[in-house]
Amino acid sequence: MSAPLKTRVVRHSPSTGAGSPDVWGIYEPDTGSIQYICADPPTKKAALIDVAWNFDPKNYRFSTGSMDQVLDLVREQGLTVDWVLDTHPHADHVMASAHLKERTGAPNAIGALVPDIADIWAGLYNLPGAFAPERDFDRLFEEGETFRLGELEMSVMLSPGHTLGSITYVCGDAAFVHDTLMQPDVGTSRSDFPGGKTSELWDSIQAILALPGETRLFVGHDYGAEGRDEPQWEATVAEHRAGNRHVKNGTRRGAYIRRRQERDATLPLPDRILAALQINLRGGRLPPAEADGHHYLKLPVNRFE
């Protein structure tokens, strides 16, 4: 995996007409993550998706620059935040969910299988009972569940593979597909974290690519690719079908699984994962302060290859 592109970029993908949302992508350069604002044009109601709480893994310090930038853009566009959404408990950045809920008053949500992810990681950290997603998120969305964003309807697709409980949000002709697909010139995301499964990732991607060809797919990350020096995060279903280097039309399931697993075997753990998941499985909250008033994280040793 190459280093994230060190360029802070904001781009607007405008509504294509009735039933179609405005989407802003905000690139977070330290982790190569893309944060999203999805808004209903007539009502100006907005959902914030996969926003980061900045974490410096060298000095173990937090800052709010990314979420501040997102909220500044919300104000500039005259939007009202109705939802704070995450697609899964991220391994490479700390989610801003709890902070955004406090700052906007909007409910926060994630997928219904996140408690199963929490059980896996409670075991890896030897922290029984530490995580309670039912407590820390206002909604745990089920497969096929729908909810309103102004006059728009958003629906939920279960998209396991990267994690066992990842979900995709579909809103009109926009789908937020998180760590399933990368840009067509890169391919797909890894599937080797605890609870992940390559065959399930393939199935999830095929369900996403069965959406209408004009659907705008917004991915969770971009680390760059040969031949370009600007981050990208939007391509249509048709563009992925035609040119995604891992899953374009004609790709066979077995060949994809072999290629993905061979690639995953070469990848190290993300440098933030062991800190991030302890926080993200609490909805973006630090562990409770100890007697000295400070917060502490627990790091498992020799638990991963």
pLDDT digit string, tens, across residues 2-28: 444 455 799 999 999 999 999 999 999
Beta strands in the chain (DSSP E): 10-13, 22-28, 33-39, 45-49, 52-56, 61-63, 80-85, 94-95, 108-111, 139-141, 146-149, 152-158, 167-171, 174-178, 216-219, 234-236
Q: What is the mean pLDDT of residues 138-145?
A: 98
Distance in angstroms (rounded) separating the CA atoms of residues 210 and 69: 34
Q: What is the mean pLDDT of residues 131-142?
A: 98
Check residue 6 and give its pLDDT.
54
Tell me if the domain spanning 10-266 has CATH number 3.40.50.2000: no
What is the pTM for the complete model shown? Answer: 0.96
Do 161 and 180 meet the contact criterion of CB atoms below 8 Å apart?
yes
pLDDT digit string, tens, across residues 231-261: 999 999 999 999 999 999 999 999 999 999 9
Displacement of CA 284 from its chain's centroid (Å):
13
